[in-house]
């Protein structure tokens, strides 16, 4: 039987805000996490993005705080990226619409002045990225002694991004007596270790088998020989636009994202396409996300900086133009579609040197991604020599990573110094050159 939000112990203000947001049924993570969080227990949630986990902890926090009180934060939510922090802030404000709770978000990319001013006016909930939070704390503008709830969201991503020192410092400066909530898409050894340091007898909630893509996502894998063929295949898939309502194209680097963006720009024009990567200024990124969210543009080209924290409800398709090297990012990327009971399509293009990561992803998600043949109309380009060499080097490196004794075709690619050492050693071993002259004769003639 479907669980509705009326089944929880929420007050009328929260239920009205939930109704305004258009939510009726609780998702599995909400059903499992809300009761223990409302009871004040520490909770560890293993839940991928798109499962409704933000509401699973924000709603009980609002219920616990009820109304504005004092000047200092009583709940702190730490998230890995500014996009996710902005998203959580938006959700918190939406659910607290009928209360007077004050929500402030703090993140880098723009000056801290406005953020500090808002905190100094009085705050109940602070949402922030680890670095900016610590900067403002150390500058003396955040007081933690009134803290009741601390949330670490997407803890696995924070670890991947190297935020562990900041997280440890945050844990040092907050009161010992508090409720702790930890959310992560994967359950690695590092997360286990963090949960042991951070949580007291936690309730552990796992809504899907670890790192499993949402059941509502149809996955497809195309084996393609090179980048130019990827572009041709992308063109063909976009020539059937009836199915594609909203699309995110994920690329592994800013350079590739820019190239794909330029190609799509020629095809669709600026009104339909936006690009999102770390080189873009903060305002450009916010504008890109908002215009995609508000259906002003249909296609968003993005690097993984954007793959978490964009809560866009009706993304119909995700295309992995490149296979992610951080394999967990595959789950996050395709989690952009098939959100909250809707179905979606996740399409991945893999060159021979990317197949290694596809196998690792399949192992992680415990699924085989179905292979789809390239349509006949797609022109398959010949792989240029340089790209072929790069692929061969990458495959060699992968084999060496799995087997340190493997000697590949490129194992003698050495630095200039090493090459000179090899040459000197060779000449020592073979004193005469090809023409039967002493090895030093040539040099001697040059000098004189």
Label residue 441 by pLDDT band (50, 70, 90): very low
Q: Which residues contact 163 (CB under 8 A, 6 or more apart)?
A: 80, 130, 131
Res 35: pLDDT = 93
Summarised one tens digit per residue, pLDDT across range 281-318 is: 566 767 777 778 777 888 888 887 655 555 566 788 88
| Residue 356 in domain | yes
Q: Same domain, yes or no, for 174 and 230?
A: no
CATH of the domain at 260: 3.40.50.300
Summarised one tens digit per residue, pLDDT across range 388-415 is: 999 999 898 888 877 777 766 554 444 5
| Residue 407 in domain | no
| Residue 162 in domain | yes
Summarised one tens digit per residue, pLDDT across range 38-75 is: 999 999 988 776 678 899 999 999 999 999 899 999 99
Q: pTM above the 0.85 mark?
A: no
Q: Which residues contact 338 (CB under 8 A, 6 or more apart)?
A: 50, 213, 214, 215, 216, 217, 344, 346
Instruction: State the total domains in the chain.
Output: 3
Q: Same domain, yes or no, for 201 and 245?
A: no
| Residue 198 in domain | yes
Q: How far is CA 445 from the centre of its chain?
A: 63
Question: What sections of 203-278 are H helices per DSSP?
Answer: 227-238, 254-268
Q: Same domain, yes or no, for 62 and 166?
A: yes
Res 307: pLDDT = 52
User: What tokens does 92 get?
Assistant: 């918190």
Residue 286 sits in which domain range? 217-384+393-400
Res 26: pLDDT = 86
Res 442: pLDDT = 45
Q: Which of 187, 206, 225 is the last residue of a domain?
A: 206
Q: Answer whether residue 7 shows pLDDT above 70.
A: yes
Q: Same domain, yes or no, for 114 and 261?
A: no
Q: Same domain, yes or no, for 257 and 323?
A: yes
Q: Same domain, yes or no, for 148 and 290?
A: no
Summarised one tens digit per residue, pLDDT across range 90-147 is: 999 999 999 999 999 999 888 899 999 999 999 999 999 999 999 999 999 999 999 9
Q: Same domain, yes or no, for 431 and 374?
A: no
Average pLDDT (240-254) is 81
| Residue 73 in domain | yes
Q: Same domain, yes or no, for 164 and 188?
A: yes
Residues 198 and 324: beta-carbon distance below 8 Å: no
Q: Which of 138, 173, 206 is the last residue of a domain?
A: 206
| Residue 148 in domain | yes
Summarised one tens digit per residue, pLDDT across range 344-372 is: 888 999 999 999 999 988 888 888 999 99
Q: How far apart are CA 10 and CA 438, in angstroms?
A: 92
Q: Same domain, yes or no, for 108 and 226?
A: no
Q: Same domain, yes or no, for 199 and 256?
A: no
Q: Same domain, yes or no, for 284 and 366?
A: yes
| Residue 123 in domain | yes
Q: Same domain, yes or no, for 42 and 178?
A: yes
């Amino acid at each position: 039987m479907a669980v509705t939000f009326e089944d929880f112990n929420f007050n009328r203000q929260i239920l009205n805000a939930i109704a305004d947001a258009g939510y009726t049924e609780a998702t599995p993570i909400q059903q499992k996490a809300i009761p223990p969080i409302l009871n004040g227990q520490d909770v560890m949630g293993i839940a991928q993005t798109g499962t409704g986990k933000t509401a699973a902890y924000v709603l009980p926090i609002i219920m616990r705080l009820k109304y504005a009180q004092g000047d200092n934060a009583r709940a702190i939510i730490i998230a890995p990226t500014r996009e996710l922090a902005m998203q959580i802030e938006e959700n918190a404000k939406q659910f607290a619409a009928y209360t007077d709770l004050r929500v402030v978000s703090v993140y880098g990319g723009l000056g801290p002045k406005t953020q500090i001013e808002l905190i100094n006016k009085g705050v109940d909930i602070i949402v922030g990225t680890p670095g900016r939070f610590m900067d403002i704390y150390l500058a003396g503008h955040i007081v933690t002694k009134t803290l009741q709830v601390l949330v670490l969201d997407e803890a696995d991503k924070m670890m991947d991004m190297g935020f562990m020192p900041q997280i440890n410092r945050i844990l040092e400066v907050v009161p010992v007596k508090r409720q702790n909530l930890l959310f992560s898409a994967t359950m690695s050894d590092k997360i286990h270790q963090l949960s042991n340091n951070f949580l007291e007898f936690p309730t552990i909630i796992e809504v899907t088998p670890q790192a499993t893509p949402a059941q509502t996502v149809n996955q497809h894998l195309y084996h393609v020989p090179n980048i130019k063929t990827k572009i041709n295949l992308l063109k063909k898939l976009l020539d059937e636009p009836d199915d594609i309502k909203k699309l995110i194209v994920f690329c592994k680097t800013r350079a590739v994202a820019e190239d794909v963006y330029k190609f799509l720009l020629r095809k669709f024009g600026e009104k339909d396409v936006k690009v999102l990567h770390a080189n873009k200024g903060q305002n450009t990124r916010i504008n890109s996300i908002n215009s995609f969210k508000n259906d002003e543009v249909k296609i968003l080209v993005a690097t993984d900086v954007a793959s978490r924290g964009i809560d866009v409800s009706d993304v119909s398709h995700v295309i992995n133009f490149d296979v992610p090297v951080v394999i967990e990012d595959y789950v996050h990327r395709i989690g952009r579609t098939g959100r909250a009971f809707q179905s979606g399509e996740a399409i991945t293009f893999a060159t021979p040197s990317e197949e290694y990561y596809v196998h690792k992803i399949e192992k992680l998600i415990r699924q085989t991604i179905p292979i789809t043949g390239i349509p006949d109309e797609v022109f398959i380009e010949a792989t240029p020599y340089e790209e072929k060499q790069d692929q061969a080097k990458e495959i060699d490196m992968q084999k060496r990573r799995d087997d340190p004794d493997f000697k590949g075709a490129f194992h003698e690619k050495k630095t200039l110094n090493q090459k000179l050492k090899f040459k000197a050693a060779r000449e020592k071993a073979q004193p005469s050159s090809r023409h039967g002259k002493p090895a030093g004769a040539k040099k001697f003639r040059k000098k004189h």
